[in-house]
Each structure stands twice: as C-alpha cells, then as structure tokens.
Amino acid sequence: MKLRSFAVRAFGAAAIATATITGVAATASAAPAPAPLVHTTFNGPTLPVVGQNDFCNGLIDTVVETDPARPGLATIAFTPRVLNGIGPGWAQNPVCRMKVTVGWNFGALTGQVKEIEILAVPGQTVRTEINPGSGLAAVVMQVTPIGPWFSELRPQAGYGRIEAFFLVP
C-alpha cells in the first residue's frame, strides 16, 4: 500500500512540475496572436465592401490581435482580398479607397470610435490599435456612406457589419 501511495504522489508531483514549467515557458514566449472572437453577425470576420474608386468592391478580412505583454490594448488587422473595379479610374489606379469605422465597448456614446482610411491593395494588411481595457470587450467594424458623427457623406458602402466579443489580457 505504501508503494502505491508513493507512486501516486510521485506522479502528482511530476505532473505539477511539468505544468509549472510549461506555464512559465508559455508565458515567457507569449507574442501577439489572434484573439478568439465570438461573432454575433452572420458574415463572421469578413466585411463585403464597395469603395470610393469607380465602384471598386471586394472583401476585407478582419482579425483582432492581443498581446499579453501589453494589457488593455488590442490591434485590429484589415486584409483586403478579391478586389475588383469598374471604369477607367480603376484601370489607371487599381487601389480601392474606403474608410472603416471601428467602435469598441460603448462606441460613440463614450468616444470609443476610430476611423481608419484604407487604401486597399489585395493582400496588404492595415493595422490599427484600440484600447478597450482588460477583460471582455465588444467591437463593431463597418463601412458606411455616413460618418460616425453624421458630418460626412462618402461614396462607399458595406454589406452589414462585423460585431464580435473577445477577451483582452
């Protein structure tokens, strides 16, 4: 019986030591990584858009990245793909210009809104940083023909918007 309890204790101590070493190594090597998002809209992380250059259109993939070394901050990455255009302006300059409005937590009610101008080239990622604070955060991303403070009209549109929840370290 003593041999059995000794083996169980030794196995338990080895498991705790392994978990501690793995936890320390994982914490020391933490780097910015995509945060798991819980999407509340049907299009998930993809934003279909019509931009400002001769009805350019396409899809923008979005990712929210967090870094344990920088608590309370998150980075949003926009990666355009499958861009098309119609007309001579697109033939001369195949860059789709648009403004994306990003709101987090309480959005415009508390001034937590940022506008990012994207000169979209397929595969070229544009990043912006937001400060939602540590814990559970909400984010909304959209391309609209009206600015967030109703002060600007733009020749662009987006199909729906992206709404998601994520955790910030």
Sequence spans of domains, the chain: 1-30, 33-168
Q: Which region among 6-15, 29-38, 75-84, 106-115 has the lowest average model confidence (pLDDT)? A: 6-15
Cα separation, 95 vs 119, in Å, equals 6
Query: For 65-91, what is each residue's pLDDT tens digit?
Result: 999 999 999 999 999 988 888 888 888
| Residue closest to 108 by CA, chosen among 142, 75, 71 | 142
Return the pLDDT at 111. 73
pLDDT at 27: 46
Helix (H) or strand (E) holding 8: helix 2-28
pLDDT given at position 2: 65
Strand partners, 65: 34, 75
Q: Model confidence at 49, in pLDDT bands (50, 70, 90)?
A: very high
How buried is 2 (Cβ within 10 angstroms: 0-12 exposed, 13-18 middle, 19+ buried)?
Answer: exposed
CATH fold of 33-168: Immunoglobulin-like (2.60.40)
CA dist 145 and 46 (Å) reads 18
